[in-house]
Structure formats: structure tokens, C-alpha cells
Structure 1
Amino acid sequence: MPDDRPTDAHLCGQLYAALEVLQRLGDVGSRALGREDLRLRASKRPRTEMTVPLHTVGKSLYWARMRGHGVAAGAVFRTIPDLMPAAKDLPGSLTADQQEEFLRGRLARLETIEKTVGVAAAVTGS
């Protein structure tokens, strides 16, 4: 594994962003991951807050395709394996510094998705 690989906290933030965008594109669960309270909870306890959205990511992809966002959703969906942390499972809890890293990772991935996939409206919720 290369030394320049992002930290698990940063990767979890990037993974969260991908799951968030997929939910928004599919209008799944009232786009729950876009809520600030869930984002902050996930930054503290990724395993607890992100396992179900990760397990149901196929539902988000399906509904995004049904709503006409298949190309964008497919591009985001294909990034998920590269965003998984190095550990076998998502971290159970993160320190305050790691929580900041999670949130920076999320913002970085949202910017990447907007630039490469062009889903700015999905990212901002507008």
C-alpha cells in the first residue's frame, strides 16, 4: 500500500460523500445523509452510521437510474471500492482530529464529484 494513501478517517469522509450523492440522485430516504446531524454523527462513529447506507447503496443506484441519473450515479458508484478504508471494517469511532479529517475528506470528494461527474445540483441539494 502506498504511503500517500489517505487516512481511514479521510476515506470514510470521501465514502460518506459518495453515499450522500447517490442518495440524493436516487431521492432515497429523503436524502438522509445530506442532513447535518447525520453527517456529524457519522464523523464520530462511521461504522454505526454508515453501515446501513453502504449495505443499501444498490437501492440508491437503482432509483437514481430510474430518475434519469444513471450515468452520474454509475460513475459515483464505481468509486466506492477505492474509498473503503484499509481496515477490514469501518472505524468504530474517531477522535476529534479524525472527525475533522472525515469532514475534509467529504468536502474533497464532493468537489471531485462535481468536477468529474457534474452533479453540482445533487451535491448542493438544489
Structure 2
Amino acid sequence: MPDDRPTDAHLCGQLYAALEVLQQLGDIGFRALGREESRQKAAKRPRTEMTVPLHTVGKSLYWARLRGRGAAAGAVFRSIPDLMPSARDLPAALSPAQQEEFLRGRRAQLDAIAKTGAETAGR
């Protein structure tokens, strides 16, 4: 793995942020990923907590489009392939240090999305 590529834990955090924003833009699932307890669970066990939101990402995109937020959601949606970890599947569990890296990755991606204005588009 190249030295400049983020760790899988960091990428999982970035992916989580993208999924979180898509839920927010689609106004679905009571924005479950935006909850602190959901975030902490995902930082510990990405595969368990992120698989369903990843499988239903199209639903978030669809509902965001219906709510007039399609362009913003589309931009976030298109970022997802670049945020996938290098492993074949999401990590089953992360160590405490990796959990911190997950949270740093999430914050970095939220900041990147905020720079584009996507997280608040259409509100």
C-alpha cells in the first residue's frame, strides 16, 4: 500500500461520513448515522454497522433527489468508490487506535464535504 494512501480505518471513517451526509440529504432513517451511538458502534465494528447503510445508499440518493438535493447527493455519492478500504470487505473490528483513526477520517471527510456545500444544499 502506498505511503500516501489513508489507512483502512481512516477510509472507513471517510466512508461513514459520506453515508451519514447522504442520509441527511435524503432525510431518511431518522438520520441514524448522525447519532453519536451509531458513530461509536461503527468505529468499533465497521462491517457490522456500515454494511446496511452501504447497501441502501441508492435509497438515500433517490430521496435526496426527490427533496431537491440531487446535485449535492450525487457529488457525495460519486465519492464513495474512492473511500472504500483496500481490503475486500469492511474491517470486522478496529482497535482503539484504529477507532480514533476512523473518527479522524470521518471528521476529515465531513470537512471536505462542507467545503463543497453539499451537506447543506437544498435546505
TM-score by length of 2: 0.95
Provide structure 1 residue ranges, at least 5 long, that are not aligned to the other structure.
Answer: none
Cα distance, 1:57–1:120 mapped onto 2, change above 3 Å: closer
Aligned positions, number? 122
SS in 2 for 1:92: coil
Matching of residues 64-79 of structure 1 within 5 Å: 64-79=64-79
Alignment of 1:35-54 (within 5 A): 35-54=35-54
Instruction: Give runs of ≥4 in structure 1 deviating > 6 Å.
Output: none
- Give CA-to-partner distance per residue, 1:5-50, whole Å, 9 cap, x none: 0000000000000000000000110110000000000000000000
Inter-CA distance 39–25: structure 2 relative to 1 (3 Å threshold): same
What does 1:20-59 align with in structure 2 at a 5 Å threshold?
A: 20-59=20-59
* Residue identity opposite 2:33 in structure 1: L
1:99 aligns with 2:99: yes
CA RMSD of aligned residues (A): 1.3
The runs of 5 or more residues in structure 2 that have no matched partner are none
| Residue of structure 2 in register with 1:119 after alignment | 118
Shift of 1:120: 4.7
Name the aligned partner's letter for residue 119 of structure 1: A
Give 2:47's aligned amino acid: R
SS in 1 for 2:104: helix
Note the C-alpha offset of 1:82: 0.3
